[in-house]
Structure 1
């Protein structure tokens, strides 16, 4: 069972597991920045900027700790959002495009890129507890 499968006990377990498998760099323990960029519909330069690393890092040091940490943060938010959307593609769309009024209409991608992972997770938790978004 992959780490993604352990995240959910309901029917979306398979979808999350498949999503995580899609992002894994073959024969390595890390996330493929190239696969992740493709899944988000981004250029590698844009993903590097969002991750706060030099664009060459994606090619020359794809397992760099700073890069992997930021990619895991992005995935954490997407997985949390998928609990509401019940669909990875909808969660990806929300992450990249939906403005969050409580955060000056910035997207979750913008906020995570700027180091505000906990704020986005708290927002999603508030939604789960009945707050209106």
Structure 2
């Protein structure tokens, strides 16, 4: 894991716990909390009232897995985030990686990122 990603990952941790902070993840990704809740498939109040929710924590974990894989492709954090949030991927019907994560296709996203990080094109 790169030192930069290790710092990013640590900045997403909820202080005093071993879980992710939805607020911190939203800040890193430049997302509104409502959008993060929608992506996670939870009510927006869950982020505040039940941050330990397994469904929420699983979604946050998936986002960090994707960001880690994206940073193997693009080492600049902001460019990696842009890739995840905005770049349409032809192999996935021009959906963004974030849209695929929301569809539950995190493993496909990581496989794609790993393939392009090793030089595979197509």
Q: Into which bin does the TM-score normalised by the smaller protein fall?
A: over 0.9
2:67 paired residue number: 78
Stretches of structure 2 lacking an aligned partner (at least 5 in a row): none
Once the two structures are superposed, the pairs formed by residues 52-63 of structure 1 within 5 Å of their partners are 52-63=41-52
Whether 2:113 is the aligned partner of 1:88: answer no
Q: How far has the Cα of 1:81 moved from its partner? A: 0.9
**CA–CA separation in structure 2 for the residues paired with 1:36 and 1:26:** 13
Runs of 5+ unmatched residues, structure 1:
1-7
2:17 corresponding residue in structure 1? 28
State the Cα RMSD in Å: 1.1
- Return the alpha-carbon distance in structure 1 between the equivalents of residues 75 and 31 of structure 2: 23
- Give the superposition deviation at 1:21: 1.3
Which TM-score applies when normalising by structure 2? 0.94
> How far, CA to CA, are the matches of 2:110 and 2:31 in structure 1?
23
Indicate the SS of the match to 2:55. Answer: helix
Match of 2:5 in 1: 16
Q: What is the aligned residue count?
A: 122
Specify whether residues 129 and 21 from structure 1 end up closer, same or farther in structure 2 by C-alpha distance, changes over 3 A only: closer
TM-score by length of 1: 0.87
Q: CA deviation at 1:127?
A: 1.1
